[in-house]
Structure 1
Amino acid sequence: MATRLKYPFDNPVEALREYRASSPNRVFLVDDEGRSLTYGDLYEESARLASAMQGLGVGKGDRVGVVMSNGVELVNILFATWTLGATAVVIDPLTISEDLDYQLSDASPKVVFVDPQVMERERGVLSRFNTVVTGSCANCLTYSDLLNRGSVGGLKTEYVNPRDDVGLIYYYAGIASRTEQVWHTFYGLFTGPYAFGEALNLGEDDVVIVTAQLAHILGLTEFLAAFLRGSRVVLVRHFDVKLVPSLVSKYGVTVFAGVPLMFDQLLNNNELDPKTLSTLRIALSAAAPLPPQTQLGFYQRFGVPLVQFYGLTEAFVLTLQPLSYREVTGTVGSPIPDVEVKIVDPRNPGRELGVGEVGELMVKAPWVMKGYSDPEDTRRAFYNGWLLTGDLMVMDERGLLYFRGVKKRMIKYKGYPIFPRDLEVILMKHPAVKEVYVTGEQAENPSIGQIPVAYVVLKEEYRGKVSEGELMDFVNSRVAFYKKLRKVYFVDKLPT
């Protein structure tokens, strides 16, 4: 039976109002450029921004596109959007070309906020949208321009139904095995991160460094967990193996979450003095399997427990490895408060499996997604109110879960999710391609995970006239770096 929590609020904006009233001058966030935000700053600036966004026609239920790396502006934009009862459509800033065009066109946002680098790179795509640039930009509406238009007194807010209204959309769909909208309610945005913070025992004495992008569920969950539990946040634009340890030491960071490759890089940095990370009480790894040698080596060198946790875009964080089992490798832990789990027959979710049997993980929690944009995909993702994760796991006699593979079609590269179907759709647009099958091939470095490779059947008239490199370039010029094909194999028949 899951441990039940009582939640003090039902959405992040309510928590901000409470913190602003009780501790307006308390700094809760610093970034890697030395900028800071108090609760009062965040309230005032997000309210002014929300007021100005109303002037652009943004209201309750509307969508606001956000294509940005971590930073103070991104935090203000998210809270401004939620203050209006609008939906933040958060897109990975590495998304390019056709991928970006598809996601923005599909979402139909009233306004899109972008970094200057994104604007420079994707000006053609963004010219079709009402775009705000967060830095300097000639002939562009900038974040500063917009902020100067707003006022706290001019803000008009509407009632939000937290359990039904959608506050966040990510473009993902691991269970559906393709890219589409994943809908999260305002209630989920509070309860999921809050419960993760409860599992970590986060409090006002903690300092949490956020290196994963808020454009991914890992980064957003870690940030919101710290914010909602009253911890201080150190927000990093991009992970850097030399910068992050210096920030840990400078700000007395106690909690650090990342992907396995980050911990490998720290562990392999021979110039790093172990004392630099001495303030950490826990390090957390997710998004890909953590190699045992990394997990044990990190603890042996730095004296900091490195444990795994597990979640997915459709359900925030679900499990955490307890510190009492910190020397156990390979486990993603046990359910955090308010999470129920079952291991079921992948072909018959009505049949629950026992200890030691490999099956599909099925979960239930207050913060599980509302659904996908495709109703049929939503229907297939649930069974009697339980989310079918598509991940194969086994549970031991202690209640610890171990990842054993995936039922869904998905590749993990450096912790980034790649959906083979997305790459297949692009390849099928090439005139030479008759059939294609994309899958993952294990990389030499286990921390990298899998690399995407394509098996291609060419049309008869193109055989010998098209190279593997040409097809790779055709795909790779249209997708983010982590989605790029690494190999193409020409075959007479697709693998089964």
Structure 2
Amino acid sequence: MERRLWHNHYETGIANNIPEEKLSSLAHLIDESVHRYQNQEAFLSMGKSVSYGEIGKLSDAFAAYLTNDLGLKKGDAIAIQLPNTIQYPVVLFGAIKVGLVIVNTNPLYTSREMAHQLKDSGAKAIVILDNFASKLEGALPELTDLKHIVTTGIGDLLDGAKGHLVNFAVKYIKRMVPGYKLPGAVKLKSALKAGHGQNFTRPQLGPEDPAFLQYTGGTSGVLKAAVLRHRNILANVAQLSQWMSKLLVLGQETVGTAIPLYHIFALTANCFLFFKAGGRNVLIANPRDMVGFLKEIRHEKITVLTGVNTLFNGMLNHKDFDKVDFSRLKLTIGGAMAVQKSVADRWLAKTGVALSEGYGLTEASPVVAVHPFNKKVKQGSIGLPLPGIDVSIRDDAGMEMPLGQAGELCLKGPNVMAGYWKDGELEPIGEDGWLATGDIAYMDETGYVFIVDRKKDMILVSGFNVYPNEVEEVIASHPKVLECGVVGIADEDSNERVKAFVVRKDDSLTVEEIRKHCKKSLTRYKVPKLVDFRDELPKSPVGKILRRKLK
């Protein structure tokens, strides 16, 4: 395979590599943007707006509290379990400024899952939303390293009476805050008050210092932490900045952030990228509340929107979708799961803007490939590798595959993690620096990469490989289908059988209709033997359909 042939198909003016990074750390990035865009709006959440200057002062107050009151120091781990509210960037930026290592924690975790992550990371502190605090209480007996707990209500940083009303409604009307007892816990508002106006010592931070222990299913499917250094995130921000340089206008973009900021895609592509660019970030605390989500962005004149296939599909199928002002929208990117053609086609028809599929993984901080924005989207492809990223398609023996032939996607670049966190130590990815992603892919003659499927999700039917993405794409194109998921289940005769789980858009849809529809586009062994209709499918907080739960 010709090396780096994708460079030949970059937009004119896009360099093959990113320039040498002038920022020494993420703290440096934050300080630069606060200074440059002081009076501009940085974040908007539930009607509350904060400027760059205000977010700088609030995060300074929290940084002072962390060091002066709690005694935390550079290299200590702090867990954050918050949705997309103003609290998240305040806590995140404050912790980064004093050199803490961030452990983003999924709010949907059970006490057992929370205990595993907090123990494994050695977190000494946690900032947690009241809604999830009861689960932390259940995990506490196992958390000997955890010394400090900071809690917050969802309305705590909203203005005046509104904050109290929101907290009252969430706790007493919606009953979303189970009772809990966390001895010694401090409210975030009290912590900010204590740190306000205090000086704090900033540690010397460099590009090689760890910034995040970002937990992921990993390329093996086992939950573990990718060690992301400051330079890894900065590199990916630089790669994305260069890729979008002809599209984005510094200080003038409004990005819709429905993906949780604790997810690596939103963390890099929405939070850090647009904070560096002086963007305005509209934070959506609960994108599953489609009525509330569409209402919140209705008049915000979003210029950039990131999401997942299920989010865009849900938007398109909602009665309020046409009320949203998309007149300034110029970029829509789908990540975390495959973008289905039926969804992409409808999005383009409705908004006039192509839904570009991107690809990334936590271990790469995360974005690896995106479509050029001046060319027609090559349907089914994840686009071209970003500047500075090297890609290789390899067989099981590690040999590079010819163009057009599928193998495991491997990659290398400044955005790739240092390694995994194991038993309190860094486990490097290997001397050669190549990361095997666990994804099956091929590259065409123009350098565009196509993901066939996850290696571990591949279904083996009588010796033939069946990739769930392909079957899902066909089923989703049926006009009576809302969404679907495909898995393999054990079968004595053929090793595995293909099973589809389908949410209907039209209740008249039958199993036979689906099978007949599939037979038009799929060879016999790929057609689902079993079809199970469901009211909903299990999803991650990002909205990605969880095949492992379907199994």
TM-score (norm 2): 0.72
Partner of 2:220: 176
Partner of 2:206: 161
1:100 to 114, 127, 131: 114
Partners of 1:154 and 1:377 in 2: CA distance: 32
2:40 to 26, 30, 34: 26
Query: 1:17 Cα shift?
Result: 1.6
Q: Summarize the Cα distance change of 1:311–1:271 in structure 2 as closer, same or farther, 3 Å threshold.
A: same
Partner of 1:118: 132
1:323 to 326, 351, 373: 373
Q: Is the 8 A contact 1:175 1:381 kept in 2?
A: no
Query: 1:197 Cα shift?
Result: 3.1
Query: 1:177 Cα shift?
Result: 2.2
Query: 1:194 Cα shift?
Result: 3.1
Partner of 1:205: 252
Partner of 2:422: 374
Query: 1:123 Cα shift?
Result: 2.2
Q: Is the 8 A contact 2:331 2:354 kept in 1?
A: yes
Is residue 341 of structure 1 aligned with residue 391 of structure 2? Answer: yes
2:265 to 207, 218, 229: 218
Partners of 1:375 and 1:41 in 2: CA distance: 39
Is residue 272 of structure 1 aligned with residue 321 of structure 2? Answer: yes
Partner of 1:313: 362
Partner of 1:46: 59
Q: How does 1:64-463 map to 2 (within 5 A)?
A: 64-126=78-140, 128=143, 129=146, 130-135=148-153, 140-163=185-208, 165-201=209-245, 202=248, 203-222=250-269, 223-239=271-287, 240-273=289-322, 276-315=325-364, 316-345=366-395, 347-349=396-398, 351-374=399-422, 381-382=429-430, 384-407=432-455, 409=456, 447-450=483-486
Partners of 1:332 and 1:111 in 2: CA distance: 38
Q: Is the 8 A contact 2:82 2:129 kept in 1?
A: yes
Q: Which amino acid aligns with 1:5?
A: I
State the secondary structure of the residue aligned to 2:205. coil
Q: Summarize the Cα distance change of 1:484–1:76 in structure 2 as closer, same or farther, 3 Å threshold.
A: same
Q: Percent identity?
A: 24
Query: 1:449 Cα shift?
Result: 3.6
Partners of 1:14 and 1:176 in 2: CA distance: 34
State the secondary structure of the residue aligned to 1:277. coil
Partners of 2:239 and 2:257 in 1: CA distance: 18
Q: Is the 8 A contact 2:259 2:542 kept in 1?
A: no
Partners of 1:224 and 1:480 in 2: CA distance: 18
Q: Summarize the Cα distance change of 1:320–1:274 in structure 2 as closer, same or farther, 3 Å threshold.
A: farther
Q: Deviations over 1:140-170 (max 9, x none)?
A: 311011112214542011111222x111111
Q: Which amino acid aligns with 2:257?
A: V
Q: Deviations over 1:26-47 (max 9, x none)?
A: 212111x111222211221111
Q: Is the 8 A contact 2:286 2:293 kept in 1?
A: no
Query: 1:325 Cα shift?
Result: 4.2
Partners of 2:60 and 2:488 in 1: CA distance: 43
Partners of 1:450 and 1:148 in 2: CA distance: 51
Across the two proteins, how many residue pairs are aligned to each other? 434
Q: Summarize the Cα distance change of 1:84–1:377 in structure 2 as closer, same or farther, 3 Å threshold.
A: closer
Q: Which amino acid aligns with 1:218?
A: F
Partners of 1:99 and 1:440 in 2: CA distance: 28
Partners of 1:449 and 1:195 in 2: CA distance: 32
Q: Summarize the Cα distance change of 1:450–1:161 in structure 2 as closer, same or farther, 3 Å threshold.
A: farther
State the secondary structure of the residue aligned to 1:323. coil
Query: 1:284 Cα shift?
Result: 0.8
State the secondary structure of the residue aligned to 1:373. strand
Moved more, 241-250 or 328-337: 241-250
Q: Which amino acid aligns with 2:338?
A: P
Q: Summarize the Cα distance change of 1:20–1:238 in structure 2 as closer, same or farther, 3 Å threshold.
A: same
State the secondary structure of the residue aligned to 2:28. helix
Partner of 1:427: none
Q: Deviations over 1:324-381 (max 9, x none)?
A: 4434311100012222212122x222x2222111111111121111110139998785
State the secondary structure of the residue aligned to 1:331. coil
Query: 1:318 Cα shift?
Result: 0.6
Query: 1:451 Cα shift?
Result: 6.4
Partners of 2:225 and 2:119 in 1: CA distance: 12
Q: Is the 8 A contact 2:227 2:426 kept in 1?
A: no
Q: Summarize the Cα distance change of 1:450–1:67 in structure 2 as closer, same or farther, 3 Å threshold.
A: farther
Q: Give ranges in structure 1 of 5+ residues lacking alignment.
A: 412-438, 456-475, 489-496
Partners of 1:192 and 1:373 in 2: CA distance: 21
Q: Which amino acid aligns with 2:356?
A: V
Partners of 1:452 and 1:267 in 2: CA distance: 29
Partner of 2:497: none
Q: Is the 8 A contact 1:454 1:485 kept in 2?
A: no
Q: Which amino acid aligns with 1:73?
A: Q
Q: Is the 8 A contact 2:410 2:437 kept in 1?
A: yes
Q: Summarize the Cα distance change of 1:236–1:480 in structure 2 as closer, same or farther, 3 Å threshold.
A: closer
Query: 1:67 Cα shift?
Result: 1.3
Compute the RMSD of aligned alpha carbons: 3.1
State the secondary structure of the residue aligned to 2:215. strand
Query: 1:483 Cα shift?
Result: 6.5
Partners of 2:345 and 2:94 in 1: CA distance: 42
Q: Is the 8 A contact 1:440 1:453 kept in 2?
A: no
Partners of 1:114 and 1:292 in 2: CA distance: 38
Q: Which amino acid aligns with 1:20?
A: V
Q: Which amino acid aligns with 2:212?
A: L
Q: Which amino acid aligns with 2:61?
A: R
Partners of 1:111 and 1:376 in 2: CA distance: 16
Q: Which amino acid aligns with 1:366?
A: P
Partners of 2:375 and 2:125 in 1: CA distance: 47
Query: 1:395 Cα shift?
Result: 0.8
Q: Is the 8 A contact 1:394 1:402 kept in 2?
A: yes
Q: Summarize the Cα distance change of 1:380–1:194 in structure 2 as closer, same or farther, 3 Å threshold.
A: closer
Partners of 2:437 and 2:186 in 1: CA distance: 41
Q: Summarize the Cα distance change of 1:98–1:440 in structure 2 as closer, same or farther, 3 Å threshold.
A: farther
Partners of 1:397 and 1:381 in 2: CA distance: 29
Q: Is the 8 A contact 1:48 1:151 kept in 2?
A: yes
Q: Is the 8 A contact 1:382 1:388 kept in 2?
A: no
Q: Summarize the Cα distance change of 1:337–1:375 in structure 2 as closer, same or farther, 3 Å threshold.
A: farther
